[in-house]
Structure 1
Amino acid sequence: MQSKIILSALFVSMGIKLINDTCSVTVNKVQIESEKWNNKQPLRIIQISDMHNRKFGKNNEKVFRQLKKFTPDIVLITGDLIDRSTKEFSRVKGFIQELTLNYPHVFFVNGNHECEHPREQQLHQILIENGVKILNNENSVCNVEGTSVNIIGINDAATDHDDLQKATDRVDGNYYTILLSHAPNIVWKEEEAISQMNLILSGHTHGGQLRIPFIGALVIPEQKFPATYDQGTYKLDKDCTLYIDHGLGTTRLPVRLFCRSQITYMEVFHKEN
């Protein structure tokens, strides 16, 4: 009898954990240092990734409740805003309209689900009409508090749409440089060139989506178990950091476990030589 009660309690606890990790939104706060960032004030970044057309409360109020706690200089969306099975874009349109209403500097790169969606261009048009800068194998310079920042975006590397050479054309190497790549596999596809970046922001992995305590993620796209890059911060070179956000949405299975839906708030500080 006692064992049944304990087992029932475990199932209930696991169910509550699944619902909380899948449906709530948390903020992962990250701080890094860079010699290249030449401003006394930190560069403040919000990263949003892998939403997969999910909704978090009415009009995504759970996401915006978290966003309103911060005043980022730039918002960077690292792909998979939609799912490849998304049939209409009203939900993502409402999200983008609210986002750009509050944050003027928003950048986007494709994920594999955008690349594989037959109405990719329709989504792009919604983004453009609402002031989002799309960087699929392109680059842009953003002025933050009088300091120039390179923002480079590559089209999805997991589906081989990436062209880093094209994306980095005419980039001024004197500026702090951020690379947006939905899939982190760019770090081994372009190992030599990647060290020229200061910060690489990716998603795609979902952090495994379902994680086991003390073991971690069992399945990560394009990587064998145990994965080399699944979530969090990795130092690739002296002044080159990779950060993988495990994102908001889900794919295949509509649940998360020990891997909560999240956005990331990052601050980049100047590091003295």
Structure 2
Amino acid sequence: MVRLATYSGKEKDMKRKKSFIRNMTAAAAALLAAVCIVCDSKYNIQLTEYRVESQKLPEELEGFRIVHLSDLHGAELGRDNERLIELTRRQEPDLIALTGDFAENGKELSAVESLLEGIEGLAPVYYVCGNHEWAGGCVEEIRALMERHGVRWLSNQYELLEKNGARLVVAGAEDPNGRADMTRPRELAERIRADYPEDFVLWLGHRNYWVQRYPELPVDLILSGHAHGGIVRLPFIGGLFNTNHGFGAEYENGLYFSGSYCMEVSRGLGNSVPVPRIFNRPELVTLVLERAE
């Protein structure tokens, strides 16, 4: 005998309510997870450390520590950037490199100033301009701010940094969005090599195209940003987008090698595109220099 189950209207309403509650609970959990991922990717700073070897590094500079910050885009990581400042301090840097896109308008400068106030005096600080400073028309404003806080502004220029009786060259390449009469990167690098053929050359340049466009640039270590880590990152795949609002990221994160140099690309700290950073936390990079035998 086959019995057919029958349900009263009340039982059917109860089943519908339970199904609705399950669906709403699942949707709420998914929404909460998405919010947590986005917030983690926006505010939770990741510390990354690399060790870079070079035969040109003097023995006196063994263990030299560089903190690399890039692409702030007016972000605040902690009130007045206090978390970013504290984490920078903990790295005990010998040099702090800022590789552009820190602000593109006056509204974003307050976040930049709070950061500069916090890191002032920790170590020599060097800055190169990014494309957004030029696009936003705030280059002179941000340059004045940097100089008030003792930051060395490098626009197709270089300086010698001395420590423990030894030295290295710190060079900064201007962004292509800048003035048309600028020194070309290769010309600057070759001039440095002619003057200091045996010195370790640290090269700061906002864009991440150095391996692609200048594979034989005569420098030792390049620090760059610009790519925002591909904005959305997936395990085993990496970044999905580029900062031109297109699909596909290249040279978006980590170390790359070409010719005589190593290029490190920071994922950056902020964002400038409509797509939020996902699985892509703000990054503070520390590079420890070691002498290769």
TM-score, with normalisation over the residues of structure 2? 0.83
The CA distance in 2 between the partners of 1:221 and 1:236, in whole Å, is 23
> Offset at 1:240?
1.2
Contact 2:228 2:243 in 1 (8 A): no
Determine helix, strand or coil for the equivalent of 2:32.
Answer: helix
The structure 2 residue matched to 1:61, chosen from 64, 82, 86, is 82
Could you tell me which runs of 5 or more consecutive residues in structure 1 were left unpaired when the two chains were aligned: none
Which whole-Å deviations, capped at 9, do the CAs of 1:234-255 have from their partners, x for residues lacking one?
Answer: 1213x41010000101112373
Change (3 A) 1:152 1:118: same
Answer yes or no: is 1:30 the counterpart of 2:50.
yes
The CA distance in 2 between the partners of 1:71 and 1:102, in whole Å, is 8
The structure 1 residue matched to 2:222, chosen from 183, 200, 203, is 200
AA of the residue aligned to 1:112: N
Determine helix, strand or coil for the equivalent of 1:11.
Answer: helix
The CA distance in 2 between the partners of 1:218 and 1:101, in whole Å, is 38
> Offset at 1:226?
4.5
The CA distance in 1 between the partners of 2:107 and 2:244, in whole Å, is 27
Answer yes or no: is 1:139 the counterpart of 2:158.
yes
Q: Which residue of 1 aligns with 2:167?
A: 148
Contact 2:80 2:115 in 1 (8 A): yes
Change (3 A) 1:14 1:223: closer
The CA distance in 2 between the partners of 1:158 and 1:247, in whole Å, is 19
Could you tell me which runs of 5 or more consecutive residues in structure 2 were left unpaired when the two chains were aligned: 1-18
The CA distance in 2 between the partners of 1:240 and 1:27, in whole Å, is 23
Q: Percent identity?
A: 24
Choose between structure 1 and 2: higher helix proportion.
Answer: 2
Q: Give the superposed CA RMSD.
A: 2.4
Q: Which residue of 2 aligns with 1:123?
A: 142
AA of the residue aligned to 1:177: V
Q: Which residue of 2 aligns with 1:230?
A: 252
AA of the residue aligned to 2:252: D
Determine helix, strand or coil for the equivalent of 1:142.
Answer: strand
The CA distance in 2 between the partners of 1:85 and 1:224, in whole Å, is 24
The structure 1 residue matched to 2:37, chosen from 4, 17, 32, is 17
Determine helix, strand or coil for the equivalent of 2:80.
Answer: helix
Answer yes or no: is 1:181 the counterpart of 2:205.
yes
AA of the residue aligned to 1:264: V
Contact 2:105 2:138 in 1 (8 A): no
The CA distance in 2 between the partners of 1:86 and 1:182, in whole Å, is 20
Change (3 A) 1:224 1:234: farther
> Offset at 1:114?
1.1
Number of equivalent positions: 267
